[in-house]
Amino acid sequence: MRPIQHSLILILLFAFSACHNKEKSNSSLDLSGDWQFKKQGDSIWLSAIVPGTVQTDLYANHLISDPFYGDNEQRNKWIENENWMYRKDFFLDLSKLKQNAELIFEGLDTYATVFLNGKQIIESDNMFRSYKIEIDSFLLEGKNRLEILFESPVQKALPFYDTLPYRLPADNDRNDKQTSVFTRKAPYQYGWDWGPRYVTMGIWRPVKIQFWDDFNIIENRLYQIELTDEKALVAWIAEVYSDTETSLFCSVQLGKEVKIDRKFDLVKGINHLADTFNIEHPKRWWPNGYGRPELYVFDIQLKTKNRDFSEKKRMGFRTIKLITEKDSIGESFYFKVNGIPIYAKGANYIPQDNFLPNVDSSRYVQIIKSVKASNMNMLRVWGGGIYENDLFYDLCDENGILLWQDFMFACSLYPGDSAFIHNVKAEAIDNIKRLRDHPSLALWCGNNEINELWFNWGYQKKYSYSNKDSLNIWDDYQNLFNRLLPDLVKEWSPQIDFWESSPKIGWGHAESMSEGDSHYWGIWWGKEPFEVYAKKVPRFASEFGFQSFPQRSTLLAFADSNQMHIDSKPMHAHQKSSIGNQTIVEYMARDFPVPTDFEDFVYVSQLVQAYGLSIALEAQRRAKPYCMGSLYWQLNDCWPGISWSGLDYFGNWKALHYEAQHDFATFLISMDENSVYIVSDSLADIDANLELKLMDFNGQLLFSKNSELHLSANRSALIYTIPDEIINQFASNQVLMNAKLYVGEKLRAQNVFYFVSPKELRLSSDVKPEFKLKNGKLFVWSQNGKLIKNLYLQTNTNLSANYFDL
């Protein structure tokens, strides 16, 4: 497991949204940090860290072995079946007892009964909810004790499993009795095809007591009501609980500009306050690559005669719409941002760790930096993980990364009883309200692959559902994903569209290519050749992918140096796809030489992944506006393992992430057989020059062509078709086409094309790469002018380019 790195970045970023309570008497007591824990029934208390999980606390106490090493996952499984107690003592002086006090848990994982000084105050059953509770009457002068019982999520859900008259599928859940669907908890913790099973328990997000006098702010919100080029109409609303009848002065400022300056008369109890103001000629928030993600920072001050509260709030002005319209082909699926159709470029995001509290701010900063650097403008927060921390959304706001936000339901069917629905409703409202005002938020989506599951994965037969069972299950589905969730989105976040399920239609159906979004798994699961990606181009590719091995340093995090071979125990334990390692080998053998040396094999596995996915990415972008999005599976990893990711657990860029950076650039030169296309995501028409050079592998020029071009904005266009008679003159396995696009003097795009697959190329082994490091730049060249294919620079840092053809 990686060590936690504390960093200052969190503090800097949160300066934007933190509350500053100026009044002395208004304060909070952070209850994070040192706690104690033990297994229920044990007598000895051990030290614990909050936020944390029971697994990480056991590991820190040397009671279990590294959860990510070798096959330790199996040895650590017992933890999920036990109940665990956590406790913390804290001390209060009399002055605090005179105040109002509210205990705030941002996240309890999951079945938690909370006692304060021996009295039960919370019973929770949903990891995704936050809990706020008045505790004035429970607090004592001097020592206070907070105690929490976490019950085994697996055991706790068993009675629900046992009493339901039919089975609900949840194939990710690696227990015989698949109980995960009864518990509102991150689905991937029960196992997934890229991650281990670690069913965590604990206080996974911060906990504090808020002390207050006079008034308590329940909500303080700014949001966009209307947006035109001339003005943005902004609403300020607040929900304030007041102890007394009093006057409250509200001021909202943008820099020195006063937007609201008003007095409100508060009644005792709940008060709803509201006002509006305009921003003239607002600068728009734009996704990465389309403009700046402009953010406005407002100062909000609320004052009574005794108390002064201030908070900074950020806003980004933009309109966003999912366009799904019937057309001559089927039905469109694309996003319009500020009225402009945007080509979505990105990947599917999964939680960054099995032990979520280990993901510190520097890891969030690092991953979004990598996302932006690879020219992505959208991530899909996949439904088998979590609703992410606020910092994640803040960073996406700052970097122009649009977010497609799934609700947390994936690849399973869920119960529909009223307690479950009530729980989901509370979870959805909590999270919709928390996330709705982020300018990066582009879409709410009901679930991952559950509509597809119902119609295509054969469970009706497999689980022998009666007609009545089927009707019940489908009705529960409809109720959750076509009534409850869309209604809640309409009520609480009406400016953001809702999409029932991703994908719209399963990949076995022809319509999946002509309507809605698609998860195309004919490559990998269907074992089809990569070339099929160029034929199966959907309207919006929200999932498709291929696996690779991570680099050696990452492998060493879970295997010894003498286990560096594909059949070693840890390589199996860290490959969770049922068809994993042999599928990588199978595809490798089709298009690449299969190295016998393991380190070479790891490197080639990454080339295979990048090669395959670039066929998809280029074909999809060429097909714009028919296709308007490429989100591959998957951006990242939750542990050091072998998976579909482009970034490994430690944030290292695999060849795929470099390839994505290339293929997602604003301008892309792409070849389909002999035809050369240029894809432009630029919002301006431009004049450019395309230089094509057909060369042999010694650098000998065989044919060249220069074309002056006028490229229309936001378009893909066929520019030139190389005549057959030119290509046919040369041996196809000994030539390449080097294509460069210049705007003025500036090289804006480059691509190298081959006419046969990599393994058929007649490459010279007599290559002489040379290096020189100067002023922080690494210069690399080919000494004898011969082609060096997929040059890989092994470093401990990510570079601006790697795995490239020189």
Residues that bind ligand BMA (CB under 6 A): 192-194, 411, 448-449, 519, 543, 633
Alpha-carbon span 192 to 478, nearest angstrom: 25
Alpha-carbon span 360 to 129, nearest angstrom: 20
CA distances, 57 to each of 86, 151, 360 (Å): 11, 16, 16
Active site residue 123: no
Alpha-carbon span 744 to 476, nearest angstrom: 60
Bridge partners, 693 (sequence order): 704, 738
Least spacing, CB of residue 638 vs ligand BMA, in Å = 11
> For the sheet containing 701-711, what is the strand order?
701-711, 686-696, 735-743, 746-754
Bridge partners, 251 (sequence order): 261, 301
Alpha-carbon span 376 to 626, nearest angstrom: 19
Torsion region of 364: left, alpha or beta (phi above 0 gives left; psi -120 to 50 gives alpha): alpha
Alpha-carbon span 689 to 740, nearest angstrom: 8
Give the DSSP H or E segment for 225.
Answer: strand 215-227
Residue type, 190: Y
Beta strands in 712-745 (DSSP E): 715-721, 735-743
Alpha-carbon span 525 to 540, nearest angstrom: 20
Alpha-carbon span 595 to 180, nearest angstrom: 41
Least spacing, CB of residue 347 vs ligand BMA, in Å = 12
Least spacing, CB of residue 74 vs ligand BMA, in Å = 21
Q: Which of 642, 669, 627 is nearest to 196 (CA)?
A: 642
Q: Which of 255, 261, 253, 254 is nearest to 303 (CA)?
A: 261
Minimum CB distance to ligand BMA smaller for 287 or for 383: 383
Least spacing, CB of residue 526 vs ligand BMA, in Å = 12
Torsion region of 382: left, alpha or beta (phi above 0 gives left; psi -120 to 50 gives alpha): beta
**Do 113 and 149 meet the contact criterion of CB atoms below 8 Å apart?**
yes
Cis? peptide before 206, omega within 30° of 0: no
**Do 475 and 465 meet the contact criterion of CB atoms below 8 Å apart?**
no
Cis? peptide before 282, omega within 30° of 0: no
Residue among 388, 398, 427, 449 flagged as catalytic:
449
Furthest C-alpha separation in the chain? 92
How many other CB atoms are found less than 10 A from the CB of residue 361?
Answer: 20
Minimum CB distance to ligand BMA smaller for 182 or for 644: 644
Q: What is the residue whose two structure tokens read 């304030």?
A: 240
Minimum CB distance to ligand BMA smaller for 309 or for 524: 524
Least spacing, CB of residue 524 vs ligand BMA, in Å = 7
Give the DSSP H or E segment for 84.
Answer: strand 84-92
Residue type, 177: K
Minimum CB distance to ligand BMA smaller for 465 or for 525: 525
Least spacing, CB of residue 449 vs ligand BMA, in Å = 5
Give the number of C-alpha atoms closer than 13 A to the C-alpha of residue 223, restricted to the C-beta side.
Answer: 18
Residues 6+ apart with CB under 8 A from 101: 134, 135, 136, 139, 209, 210, 211, 212
Minimum CB distance to ligand BMA smaller for 427 or for 449: 449
Least spacing, CB of residue 194 vs ligand BMA, in Å = 6
Minimum CB distance to ligand BMA smaller for 32 or for 577: 577
For ligand BMA, which residue has the nearest CB? 193
Minimum CB distance to ligand BMA smaller for 583 or for 666: 583
Alpha-carbon span 525 to 382, nearest angstrom: 19
Least spacing, CB of residue 543 vs ligand BMA, in Å = 5
Minimum CB distance to ligand BMA smaller for 179 or for 448: 448
Alpha-carbon span 110 to 148, nearest angstrom: 11
Least spacing, CB of residue 642 vs ligand BMA, in Å = 12
**Do 560 and 626 meet the contact criterion of CB atoms below 8 Å apart?**
no
The DSSP result for 389-411, as a single string, is PHHHHHHHHHHT-EEEEE-S-BS
Minimum CB distance to ligand BMA smaller for 515 or for 543: 543
Residues 6+ apart with CB under 8 A from 1: 56, 59, 66, 67, 68, 69, 355, 358
Minimum CB distance to ligand BMA smaller for 23 or for 193: 193
Alpha-carbon span 220 to 250, nearest angstrom: 11
Residue type, 311: E
Least spacing, CB of residue 577 vs ligand BMA, in Å = 6
Minimum CB distance to ligand BMA smaller for 116 or for 617: 617
CA dihedral 630, 631, 632, 635 (to 10 degrees): 140
Minimum CB distance to ligand BMA smaller for 37 or for 521: 521
Minimum CB distance to ligand BMA smaller for 290 or for 549: 549
Which residues are the active-site residues? 449
